[in-house]
Amino acid sequence: MDPTGATRDPRELVLEAGDARVVVRPEEGGRLGSLIIAGREVLWTSDPQGLIHWGSYPMAPWAGRVRHGRFTFAGRPYELPRGMPPHAIHGVVFDRPWEVLGPDAIGIELDERWPFRGRVEQRFALDEGGLSMTLVVEADEPMPTTVGWHPWFRRSLGNGIPELQLRFDAETMLLRDAEGMPSGERVPPTRGPWDDAFTGVAEPPVLEWGDALRLEVSSTCSWWVVYTEPAHALCVEPQSGPPDALNGAADIVEPGTPLIHEMRWRWTRG
């Protein structure tokens, strides 16, 4: 039973600390389905367009797009399903059920859409001032890998609270070509709206809803994709590599040496 007396869904993980409540939905791609702080829902919690447009979900074994779903590794070409034609997008773990490993951990085996065998584990730690999420990718054979997270933050918290403002500063932005993919050219960041990749981010991005809530996003990842085009939500996505990283910029994960990255949200209330 939860504190309201309602029966909890056994397919969910619920973490609570102070006035913060997190619901993890293993059955829906291992995502955060809800983050409530001081009674306010911070995430976009559903979307009829499908699993790619809500919550905060993990991306593995690649993050972002892969051009035309094709990459080469160790001299051999591979092709991935094109989840957002003409490109592959966001890996193969955000759209499948995960296994509950414990009260704060879930895991999943990489499926046949990925040409290498391995698994992903996700861990959560909540306290009154923040939430930590850790992604661990283990390989049974050498494989290129990038990871990341894709949160959808609400622009409006309602009740007259000012709309979300983003404080974000980066040295470099990847210029996109006509297909929406990195052209190879790096430029100083332009003014938004953005659906772009950045690096050289010295200070963690900060999301502010007026004086009501301030949320800082930090990560061990060195790349960030920021998506500001939707009217209802804003996405700030730490990634361990840029879009299309499987074509030359990915980490190589070996058996016995997992790839581990963390994202941390810290918040203060007005």
- Residue 137's CATH number: 2.70.98.10
Inside any domain, residue 2: no
Inside any domain, residue 33: yes
Cα–Cα–Cα angle for 268, 269, 270, rounded to 5 degrees: 125
How do residues 10-31 score in pLDDT, each as one tens digit?
A: 678 999 999 999 999 999 999 9
Inside any domain, residue 1: no
Q: What is the pLDDT of residue 4?
A: 41
How do residues 91-127 score in pLDDT, each as one tens digit?
A: 999 999 999 999 999 999 999 999 999 999 999 999 9
Q: What is the pLDDT of residue 9?
A: 61
Inside any domain, residue 3: no
Q: What is the pLDDT of residue 10?
A: 60
Residue 44's domain spans which residues? 13-269
Using alpha carbons, list the distances in angstroms from residue 130 to 85, 105, 154, 163, 229: 36, 17, 17, 21, 27
Inside any domain, residue 245: yes
Inside any domain, residue 7: no
Per the structure, the count of domains in the chain is 1
- Give the per-residue SS3 of the chain: CCCCCCCCCCCCEEEEECCEEEEEEHHHCCEEEEEEECCEECECCCCCCCHHHCCEEEEECCCCEEHHHEEEECCEEEECCCCECCEEECECCCCCCCEEEECCEEEEECCCCCCCCEEEEEEEEEECCEEEEEEEEEECCCEEECCEEEECEECCCCCCCCCCEEECCCCEEEEECCCCCEEEEEECCCCCCCEEEEECCCCCCEEEECCCEEEEEEECCCEEEEECCCCCEEEEEEECCCCCHHHCCCEEEECCECEEEEEEEEEEEC
Inside any domain, residue 4: no
Give burial (CB, 10 Å; 0-12/13-18/19+) of 111.
exposed
Inside any domain, residue 39: yes
The series of mean pLDDT values per 10 residues for the chain, 270 residues long, is 48 94 98 97 94 97 98 97 96 98 97 98 97 98 98 96 97 96 94 95 97 98 97 98 95 98 95
What is the C-alpha to C-alpha distance for residues 128 and 219, in angstroms, rounded to an integer? Answer: 19
Q: What is the pLDDT of residue 3?
A: 43
